[in-house]
Amino acid sequence: MKIHEYQAKQLLRDAGVPVPRGIVVKSADEAAKAFGELGGTIAVVKTQIHAGGRGKGRFKEHPDQAGVVLVKSADEARENASRMLGNTLVTIQTGDEGKVVNTLLIEEGVDIQDELYLGIVVDRESGGPVLMASEEGGMAIEEVAAATPEKIFHEPIDGGYGLHPFQATKLAFRLGMDGKAVRNAARFLPQLCRFFLDSDCSLAEVNPLVVTGDGTLIALDAKVSFDDNAMFRHKAFAELRDLSEEDEAEVKAADTGLSYVNLDGNIGCLVNGAGLAMSTMDLIKLHGGEPANFLDVGGGANAEQVTEAFRIILSDDNVKAVLVNIFGGIMKCDTIVEALLTAYDKIGFSVPLVVRLEGTNVELARKMLNESGKDIITAADLTDAAKKVVGTLA
């Protein structure tokens, strides 16, 4: 689950990590008022969307308007806010369709001496969280990662203890800090890591981490995602969810107990089991097709779930054919066919449907399919199914 920058900053503040003062607003007048309340000569107007790259992003409606802007008066804050609110911001992370801005964070302007990069992710290689840090922070970190990856330092984080003091100090020196900044880093870095561990984050990124003229460290940006599988341990985080930022079909699928991820292709997939879903997508691609989604109905799907799964797949206009791939293990093939036929009647199919079944009660299930009189293409095995479904598009 992703959250907004202003929410992440509140959580960081609570965890003892320094962040700038800011006020959340939803109208241009509130933005102007917030400038006055912050009381400084410089403030920053920041769009709140579930994507980064806002500083370099531009609005569809106002091609010169960026998503993060420094302002020097209440009027300037109002003008920028009115060009942002209700409009669509396109950044390197939003895709071409962009994201509609509904909320702004008005933040005090910070005296930036140095912009560094910090990020914590779960690292497959070390099998735990790892803290990444670089001197090359700011808005071009993607380019640094691609061109000069050696400029990004890695420290594995002890999942129980957190970041050890010697690791924090070592990183601070490698980041070119001295004096007071090193002492501040010795507190800041372990606190950020502690926050990551305690909150079951899957990502915590501070880019930029700012060192001010007097050696103070401040998290100027904050991007936090939580591990969905740990949300039961953090009931309070539920209210941080912003459904308007999420894919509607994915939300609906999750509510029905389905694992669904929307993709760019045109072959809808309905599969039971995540591993089988992955290999189904692989085979579609191997035979020249592109999957429109990943969908795992799970081991014990019922008719209702299968119906909902079809509804979700077919509501995607890009879907030009559907492949159902079922391995009857815990689930019996005839049960799934019964659900499939019910769903077929309820929803009605306007695109070709290819079905591949294997496993428990497969003979009975095939018989049911053949006798149904419905326009369903059956496949002998997975390769045959992939070829057939790609073939329907030719």
Which residue ranges make up the site for ligand ADP (CB under 6 A)?
20, 44, 46, 52-55, 68, 107, 109-110, 112, 115, 138-139, 207-208, 220-221
State the minimum distance, in angstroms, from the CB of residue 304 to ligand ADP.
Answer: 41
State the minimum distance, in angstroms, from the CB of residue 335 to ligand ADP.
Answer: 48
**Is residue 5 close enough to count as binding Mg ion by CB under 5 A?**
no
CA 273 to chain centre: 22
Task: Considering the complex, state which of residue 52 and residue 129 has its C-beta at the smaller distance from ligand ADP.
Answer: 52
State the minimum distance, in angstroms, from the CB of residue 118 to Mg ion.
Answer: 11
Q: C-alpha angle 37/72/69, rounded to 5°? A: 100
CB 109 within 8 A of CB 44: yes
**DSSP three-state, residue 378:** strand
**Is residue 221 close enough to count as binding Mg ion by CB under 5 A?**
yes
Question: Which partner, Mg ion, ligand ADP, none, binds residue 110 by CB below 5 to 8 Å per kind?
Answer: ligand ADP
State the minimum distance, in angstroms, from the CB of residue 178 to ligand ADP.
Answer: 22
Give which of 4, 1, 10 is closest to 195, Cα–Cα.
Answer: 10
Task: Considering the complex, state which of residue 65 and residue 207 has its C-beta at the smaller distance from ligand ADP.
Answer: 207
Task: Considering the complex, state which of residue 139 and residue 347 has its C-beta at the smaller distance from ligand ADP.
Answer: 139
First-to-last C-alpha distance (Å) of the chain: 39
Measured from each CB, the residue nearest to Mg ion is 221
Task: Considering the complex, state which of residue 219 and residue 297 has its C-beta at the smaller distance from Mg ion.
Answer: 219
* H-only helix segments in the chain: 5-14, 28-38, 74-84, 141-147, 165-174, 180-198, 248-256, 274-286, 303-314, 333-347, 362-371, 382-391
Is-catalytic flag, 117? yes
Residues in the chain: 394
Give the number of C-alpha atoms closer than 13 A to the C-alpha of residue 228, restricted to the C-beta side.
6
In the window 186-215, what residues touch Mg ion (CB under 5 A)? 207
**Is residue 48 close enough to count as binding Mg ion by CB under 5 A?**
no
Q: Which residues, listed in sequence order, are joined to residue 155 by a DSSP beta bridge?
A: 131
Residue 390, token pair as written in the block: 């790609």
State the minimum distance, in angstroms, from the CB of residue 220 to ligand ADP.
Answer: 5
State the minimum distance, in angstroms, from the CB of residue 52 to ligand ADP.
Answer: 4
8-state DSSP, 221: -
Question: Which partner, ligand ADP, Mg ion, none, binds residue 78 by CB below 5 to 8 Å per kind?
Answer: none
**DSSP three-state, residue 283:** helix
8-state DSSP, 264: S
The catalytic residue among 107, 205, 308, 344 is 205
Is-catalytic flag, 6? no
The catalytic residue among 5, 6, 115, 117 is 117
State the minimum distance, in angstroms, from the CB of residue 125 to ligand ADP.
Answer: 26
CA 277 to chain centre: 20
Listed in sequence order, the residues at least 6 apart from 296 whose beta carbon sits closer than 8 Å to its beta carbon are: 258, 259, 260, 271, 272, 273, 274, 276, 277
Task: Considering the complex, state which of residue 107 and residue 308 has its C-beta at the smaller distance from ligand ADP.
Answer: 107
Q: Which amino acid is at 15?
A: A
Please give the Cα distance from 317 to 313 (Å, whole number).
9
Task: Considering the complex, state which of residue 129 and residue 208 has its C-beta at the smaller distance from ligand ADP.
Answer: 208
Residue 6, token pair as written in the block: 């202003």
Task: Considering the complex, state which of residue 85 and residue 306 has its C-beta at the smaller distance from ligand ADP.
Answer: 85
Give which of 237, 246, 306 is closest to 7, Cα–Cα.
Answer: 237
Task: Tell me which residues are annotated as active site.
Answer: 117, 205
Q: Footprint of Mg ion on this chain (CB under 5 A)?
A: 207, 221
